[in-house]
Structure 1
Amino acid sequence: MATMRVGFCCVFLMLVAVRRMPSATAGGWPPPNYADALTKCLLFYEGQRSGKLPPTQRLTWRKDSALTDGQEGGVDLVGGYYDAGDNVKFGFPMAFTGTVLAWSIIEFSAELGPELVHAHEALRWLTDYLLKATAQPNRIFVQVGDPYSDHNCWERPDDMDTPRPVYQVNQTHPGSEVAGETAAALAAASIVFKSSDPAYAATLLSRAQAVYNFGHTYQGSYNSLGNAVCPFYCDYNGYQDELVWGAAWLNRATSSTRYQCHIIHGIKQMELEENGSDLEFGWDAKNAGNYLLLFLQQKNDSEYGRLVEEFACAMMPQSHSNYIKYTPGGLIYATPGCNMQDVTGFSFLLLLYARYLTSARRTLTCGTSQYPPSALIDVARSQVNYILGQNPLNMSYMVGYGTKFPQKIHHRGSTLPSMDQHPQHLFCGDGTPYFNSNASNPNLLVGAVVGGPNDGTDNFVDSRYWPNQTEPTTYVNAPLVGLLAYFSKN
């Protein structure tokens, strides 16, 4: 576990006189419509569905797709989500999406209001698939689709004809990071469905325990699958953080400490391996999320409390964090890839910690400075507002929200004409002219949040050629669901 020294620019005790983040109407911006954004944020998941679409499908330009997935391996792997703008089903980031979407629902179910039913639908679409992928003992089907042939073609998911091989981890080729994350998703989802569908919740929890035991017993990285995994969703941070993550969610789902020894051992291993930073939280690194989740379960643990406080302090704009920066327009900037993952993920954790501080009647102490919980909430709100249009370019980074938003996102289904408009089959090379076109995408992937500015500035290029800026992903929206639900009521 790599710790990070965080310096602070303030040299005197400060409680109220903190630098405030922009207000909802600063710069002449209209106040965001968080409820509308929440509706669209969840609608996005319907555009990412794989498999047989239900009659309730609202994004009707999408059609059934990948109805034979799994046949090559003799299993049923129909369903689930495409992770981003391609047509591969990557199990590792899909499971992380499920964990955080479930966490959003657990923490903000009351605030979700009428959108709770859509949140449940989005989560169940994912967990139904994870149950299929883990149906065989000591085996997880972690991916469907050849990423190289898929990325070489610009095809609709509805009639794609690229190879659909299946990839698995098992006792001889383990994948502890995928097992830990999948167990976390199933365990967290079991909490969501416990009251509305107890039988389904029990199935999820039982499977989560079996999957976790597999990942813990047969330890190793799914990176051994080679080119099928890397460099697409290669695990760079090691798998101990996922084993801790899965154990922590199982503790919460079972209301017990039966996995506590696994957590303690996993954290010791993380410290020895020093993979990643304690300030990271995303599909690969769970460090900051682990510490907050564990602290909220064990509030008397001073070490977890210290690590969460370190994370929150680094998030404050006044800090001199070497990891977390802000663009001139106020957007969090941590990594040059899909930066919005950090924006929504960090903001979600900060909001949860602020809620704890409020309930405990505490403030955040950073060196000689102190911040009330409202200061942390202001940071989280400023990031959501930036996504929704309060930024130097005066544009929303959520497709379909506001009057100005990305039009040429890096997404195959959105770029190509729908089967309603073009029922003839589109082969691999047929999509290239659409990719190269300067025209706006014909199909609106409502609610998709793109990667956004990713170089430390507030610049943005609306072009399919820039996937780091214009490609949406399922795991960016998952924490945003919770954020938007909270701000829609607060």
Structure 2
Amino acid sequence: MLFGATRCRPDYGDALSKSILFFEGQRSGKLTNQRMSWRKDSALRDGSDIGMDLVGGYYDAGDNVKFTFPMAFTTTVLAWSITEFGQLMGDQDLQHAHEALRWGTDFLLKATSTSGTVVAVVGNPISDHNCWERPEDMDTLRTSYVVNTTHPGSEVSAEIAAALAASSLVFQSADAKYSATLLDRAKEVFKFADSYKGSYNSSVGAGACPFYCDFNGYEDELIWGAAWLYKVTKLEYYWKYVNDNIPNFEKSISQDYLVGGFLEFGWDAKHAGIAVLFSQVLFPLAMDSGNSSPFIRYADQFVCSVLPNSPTKSVTYSKGGLLFKPGSSNLQHATSLSFLIMVYAGYLKDRVVQCGGLKASPSDLREFARTQVDYVLGSNPMGMSYMVGYSNKFPQRIHHRGSSLPSVDQHPKPIKCHDGTPYFESQNPNPNILTGAIVGGPDINDQYKDSRVNVSQSEPTTYINAPFVGVLAYFKASK
């Protein structure tokens, strides 16, 4: 066996239901079918500054801004989770997952409803981060930041194209008309992203940076969008686009990540995701011809750079067994890379990945992912679940405005910008449980400080949860 024995198995089904419920706590707009009842309507005039209806979508984390780039990535991965593992969720969880996905795609359709324009951010980040207030009370600037033909944003536009294409797969059987709408818009937005190349870093400026700057360029998003469009349409144009851009793919790896660039998969970088996604298409062709595609080789290298026993491992692990990469909010790496490992295990079928002298089978890959899932859910040195509301011990003081302030039901009068500061500074547990939220997680020494001030560890994000949905669905069914 490749990995050591784990403790008593978590309740993956309960964790799955809660991980999907979390998205209801992040909803913006006019709330419907709302199970997280302490959340109410918010930001009902979004887009009015530019004459657009931009009501809806998700707040990405503990603040009240709608950043389209990470929101689109969240949508892409949630759709991928449902496509790969939705049949294992059970009817009720699958229905709620569809609702969570549609909340995102409905907004992305609004954000791309004007030809030649894509909405990149809604809400002034500086104004928002200067206040600690409930989304229901917002009196901060709700500025709409857009990219267009003269001020392009290829990364945010191409990620939206990927999200809409991936989501069209999910809705093909449930709502064929909506699925077709998503796919048509994905094609339009991809064409815009490719025709008017440029980074939204420059076009949006302080609306995106330093919060969600694109650090590695937009080439990976363009290939990522084309790969998803090929997966859905099988059109030769997108196949050719992906293969013609292999040099750009490899250049972006070597240019921005001198060592181990193919490891990256998250809201900013899509290299490992592209390799894994396109490997599914290429496996039959590669096996027939006897030649291995660069994407298959990169997918194998990705696996070998993650597995803890691999001689070419490029990540680190805590003593408790949690995967670590540089930067804050580390659990985004543990959940997203575990998801990719799980997806690739399914694509491999009976094939083995060779990592030097180590042979890793699909079952080895799944067992690795299980170690990460179990750690997040409580099999760790602190005995703490890093999913809020799961088990008896979980973070109580998460960095999240709505969770940390009294609900509108409990405190009907508005809590203005700086009136929320005492709640932020309080040592009391948050009054509202953001069920299912996965926080940034412990440090490399397996320690976690339960404090709202400790942003990198205590803030949840939608893009931490989205990949975890698929992984939990698999383990729920295989328990």
Same fold (TM over 0.5): yes
Q: How far apart are the structure 1 equivalents of 2:154 and 2:311?
A: 35
1:320-359 superposed Cα distances (whole Å, 9 cap, x missing partner): 55631111000000122111111011001111111222x2
Give 1:270 deviation, angstroms: 3.1
Which one of the candidate residues 263, 272, 275 is aligned to 2:256?
A: 275
Contact 2:56 2:107 in 1 (8 A): yes
CA contact (8 A) 1:37 1:447 kept: yes
Contact 2:282 2:293 in 1 (8 A): no
Q: Is 1:200–2:212 an aligned residue pair?
A: no
Q: Is the 8 A contact 1:282 1:341 kept in 2?
A: yes
Match of 2:74 in 1: 97
Match of 1:473 among 461, 466, 470: 461
Count of residues in correspondence between the two structures: 464
Q: Deviations over 1:390-447 (max 9, x none)?
A: 0000000000000000000000000000000000111111000000000000000000
SS across alignment from 1:298: helix
Matching residue of 1:326: 317
> Counterpart amino acid of 1:119?
A
Q: TM-score, normalised by structure 1?
A: 0.93
Q: 2:467 corresponds to which letter in structure 1?
A: P
CA distance in 2, matches of 1:321, 1:230: 34
Q: What's the secondary structure of 2:236's corresponding residue?
A: coil
Q: Which of 93, 111, 123 does residue 145 from structure 1 map onto?
A: 123
Residue 166 (str. 1) matches residue 157 (str. 2): no
CA RMSD for the aligned pairs? 1.1
Q: SS of 2:347's equivalent? A: helix
| Maintained 8 Å contact 1:395/1:405 | yes
Alignment equivalent of 2:281, drawn from 286, 297, 320: 297
Alignment of 1:122-141 (within 5 A): 122-141=100-119
Mapped contact 1:183–1:211 kept (Cα < 8 A):
yes
Distance 2:68 2:454 in 1: 24
Structure 2 residue ranges without an equivalent (≥5): 287-291
Per the alignment, residue 189 of structure 1 pairs with 167
Q: In structure 2, what is the Cα distance between the partners aligned to 1:101 and 1:309?
A: 23
Larger deviation, residues 368-377 vs 58-67: 368-377
SS in 2 for 1:169: strand
Residue 256 of structure 2 aligns to a residue whose secondary structure is coil
Alignment of 1:51-130 (within 5 A): 51-54=29-32, 56-114=33-91, 115-130=93-108
AA at the equivalent of 2:475: F
Moved more, 318-327 or 137-146: 318-327
CA drift at 1:20: 1.5
Query: Which residue identity does 2:248 align to in structure 1?
Result: Q
Contact (CA 8 Å) 2:312, 2:355: kept in 1 or not?
A: no
**Paired residue type of 1:92:** F
In 2, Cα distance between the equivalents of 1:445 and 1:321? 39
Distance 1:459 1:257 in 2: 50
Mean Cα deviation higher: 167-176 or 261-270? 261-270
1:19-418 mapped onto 2 (5 Å cutoff): 19-23=2-6, 25=7, 30-54=8-32, 56-114=33-91, 115-224=93-202, 225-273=204-252, 274-276=255-257, 277-299=261-283, 300=286, 301-321=292-312, 323-357=314-348, 359=349, 361-418=350-407
Question: For residues 257 and 388 of structure 1, what CA distance do their matches in structure 2 show?
Answer: 43
One-letter amino acid matched to 1:130: L
Shift in Å at residue 303 of structure 1? 1.7
C-alpha distance in 1 between matches for 2:244 and 2:126: 37
CA distance in 2, matches of 1:131, 1:150: 25
Aligned to 1:459: 447
Deviations 1:31-80 (A, max 9, x none): 200000000000000000000001x2100000000000000011000000
Match of 1:445 among 425, 428, 434: 434
Quick one: distance in 1 between partners of 2:165 and 2:2? Answer: 39
Contact 2:311–2:355 under 8 Å retained in 1: no
Distance 1:98 1:19 in 2: 33
Helix, strand or coil at the partner of 1:35: helix
Corresponding residue of 2:289: none
Asked if the contact 2:226–2:242 (Cα under 8 Å) also holds between the matched residues in 1, the reply is yes
Secondary structure at the residue paired with 2:265? coil
Unpaired segments ≥5 residues, structure 1: 1-17
1-structure distance, mates of 2:140, 2:399: 19
Q: How does 1:431-442 map to 2 (within 5 A)?
A: 431-442=420-431
Query: Helix, strand or coil: the match of 1:61?
Result: coil
Residues 1:486 and 2:469 are matched in the alignment: no
CA contact (8 A) 1:53 1:64 kept: yes
Q: Distance in 1 between matches of 2:249 and 2:112?
A: 26
Question: Deviations for 1:373-403, whole angstroms, at most 9, x for unmatched residues?
Answer: 2111111000000010000000000000000
Counterpart residue type for residue 162 of structure 2? A
Query: Taking structure 2 as the reference length, what is the TM-score of the superposition?
Result: 0.95
| 1:310-329 CA distance string (max 9 Å, x none) | 11111111135563111100
CA-CA distance at 1:160 after TM superposition: 1.0
Deviation at 1:257, TM superposition (A): 3.1
CA distance in 2 between counterparts of 1:19 and 1:489 reads 22
Would you say the 8 A contact 1:241–1:266 is kept in 2?
no
Structure 1 Cα separation of the partners of residues 306 and 359 of structure 2? 13
Report Cα offsets for 1:266-307 as digits up to 9, x if no partner. Answer: 331233342231110000000000001011111114321111
Question: In structure 1, how many angstroms separate the alpha carbons of the residues matched to 2:165 and 2:71?
Answer: 15
Identity level (%): 56
